[in-house]
Structure 1
Amino acid sequence: MGHCVSECSCADELRQTVTRLAEKSADKVIYQSSLMSALLHGVYDGKTTVADLLRQGDFGLGTFNQLDGELVAFDSQVYQLRADGSARPARPEQQSPFAVMTFFTPDYQHRFSQTASREDVHRVIDRVVTSDNHFCALRISGRFASVQTRTVPCQCRPYRPMPEILGDQPTFTFRGDEGELIGFRTPQYMQGINVAGYHEHFITADRQGGGHILDYVLEQGTLTFGAISKLVIDLPQDRDFLQADLNPDNLDEAIRSVES
């Protein structure tokens, strides 16, 4: 599976096709419910509903109570990506233990007319939003040569920490599908609060399948993205969260093991 995006052509495309969409826009804010370190510890139940999340943004990702699938949101629509690889609209009353939302107002647009790897896509973003000290929201609408995903199955109490259930996660490969990729790039200093680096979810154009992205190859499509410099975190008040160990010695290793 060769990559057709060379260093030279990538630089040329940046000059030619990365388009600033808006010089001025309203303040961009990321809303986050709970912490990634709480999810790692096994805090899989929250009181934040899908309806609550949509009041905080029209775009984002996360998970559902009992770790029952991945959450992906865009265009004010929220979907549940399930452990069998399927997808379905989320109900307003469904609850989430961890989610990240924003009102998506991208600054930049880049058209990929030839095959690009995940690294190629990230390189375009990193060359435009050069500081790792801000968040970045990104979306790709296009056709994917392949997308590898995983989704952790629904859990039952007593909950095990997330690293212990990795062996239970099914993986899927979508080939030649059109769809939407929704994601965030999070600063390294936020590891544990969120997931440092790139965190992306995928859903097919027919909204029938998707999951948490492990890797992908984009065939062609449009990338839109922009930096975000404000963060609001809503911390839970329930017993599970208050008693959780949110700063374990292996925090960085644990997050990398469950997100990679």
Structure 2
Amino acid sequence: MKNTGACTCVQDIAKSFSYLNTDQPESEIFQTSLMSALIDGVYDGSVTIAELLEHGDFGLGTFNDLDGELIAFDSEVHQLREDGSARVAGMDQKTPFAVMTHFRPSITGQLTTMLEKVEVQELIDKMVGSLNLFCAFRIDGYFERVETRTVPRQTKPYRPMLQAIENQPVFTFENTSGTLVGFRCPPYVQGINVAGFHVHYITDDRKGGGHVLDYRLLEGKLELAKISKLRIDLPRTESFQQATLHSDDMNEAIEAAEG
């Protein structure tokens, strides 16, 4: 049976959101490398965290050696580690894949009803209005649970990501306050980025987090920005130049890796 209640709830929430009229320029998404390269095992990049922050104050990605998840907001960058912990990232650490933007939300609203992940995603889709645009979003809130995973640090010779994630640890954060940082990308960029939703989480005490698999939000604030500009900086490394960047099973590989 179709759950019409969830749909009605999302529609009602959407009506309460505010559309901010600002004269500020539209943000641009800056991306280093390609998701398909990460899937193929290109885990070494030359872009530092300090250089990433020149292109934005908000984003996500990973670190060299696939050493945990990267989450950035308010110009602060944290490393979410394979044991579920979090720490401030060093400015000289490097990334093989990251997505950054200057976060300028144009739509904002309060979420006062319990919402599952799929309902939040439905709400964001409705607010953006088109699957052909990019969207950056942030949720600061209180969560009944957030299920995360973090890929363990890899050593050379690197294995492709599907092998690297076979024994990835999964964590559940229960009754925590924290921040979700996410992007929603159009279907046509699968392989270049991650089509659909890609989200990372960190607790308010900055002690834990990871790549988000699922969550239930009890209350919070949602801010989002529509974005129609994408800039990609391709690595000049030999590993990138030799990588297989397209395959028939790329879509399935990305879905398995990113959940």
Q: How many residues align?
A: 257
Partner of 1:65: 64
- State the alpha-carbon separation in 2 of the partners of residues 232 and 77 from structure 1: 21
- State the alpha-carbon separation in 2 of the partners of residues 233 and 220 from structure 1: 35
Partner of 1:7: 7
Q: What displacement does 1:166 show?
A: 1.7
Q: Equivalent residues in 2 for 1:168-183 (5 A)?
A: 168-183=167-182
TM-score by length of 1: 0.96
Q: Superposition RMSD on alpha carbons, in Å?
A: 1.3
Deviations 1:36-77 (A, max 9, x none): 000000000000000000000000000000000000000000
**Secondary structure, aligned partner of 1:25:** coil
Partner of 2:248: 249
Between 199-208 and 125-134, the greater mean CA deviation after superposition: 125-134
Partner of 1:220: 219
- State the alpha-carbon separation in 1 of the partners of residues 17 and 204 from structure 2: 24
- State the alpha-carbon separation in 1 of the partners of residues 49 and 99 from structure 2: 12
**Secondary structure, aligned partner of 1:139:** strand
Q: What displacement does 1:226 show?
A: 1.6
Q: Which amino acid aligns with 1:68?
A: D
Partner of 2:235: 236
- State the alpha-carbon separation in 2 of the partners of residues 34 and 241 from structure 1: 8
**Secondary structure, aligned partner of 1:221:** strand
Structure 2 regions of 5+ residues with no counterpart?
A: none
Q: What displacement does 1:125 show?
A: 1.1
Q: Which amino acid aligns with 2:10?
A: C
Partner of 1:165: 164
**Secondary structure, aligned partner of 2:53:** helix
Q: What displacement does 1:23 show?
A: 4.0
Q: What displacement does 1:168 show?
A: 1.9
Q: Is contact 2:141-2:219 (8 Å) kept?
A: yes
- State the alpha-carbon separation in 1 of the partners of residues 83 and 121 from structure 2: 28
Q: What displacement does 1:146 show?
A: 0.3
Q: Which amino acid aligns with 2:11?
A: A
**Secondary structure, aligned partner of 1:45:** coil
Q: Is contact 2:26-2:104 (8 Å) kept?
A: no
Q: Equivalent residues in 2 for 1:37-116 (5 A)?
A: 37-116=36-115
**Secondary structure, aligned partner of 2:147:** strand
Q: What displacement does 1:165 show?
A: 1.7
Q: Which amino acid aligns with 1:56?
A: H
Partner of 1:210: 209
Q: Which amino acid aligns with 1:97?
A: P
User: Runs (4+) of structure 1 moved beyond 3 Å?
Assistant: none
Structure 1 regions of 5+ residues with no counterpart?
A: none
Q: Which amino acid aligns with 2:218?
A: E
- State the alpha-carbon separation in 2 of the partners of residues 52 and 6 from structure 1: 42
- State the alpha-carbon separation in 2 of the partners of residues 14 and 99 from structure 1: 30
**Secondary structure, aligned partner of 2:163:** helix
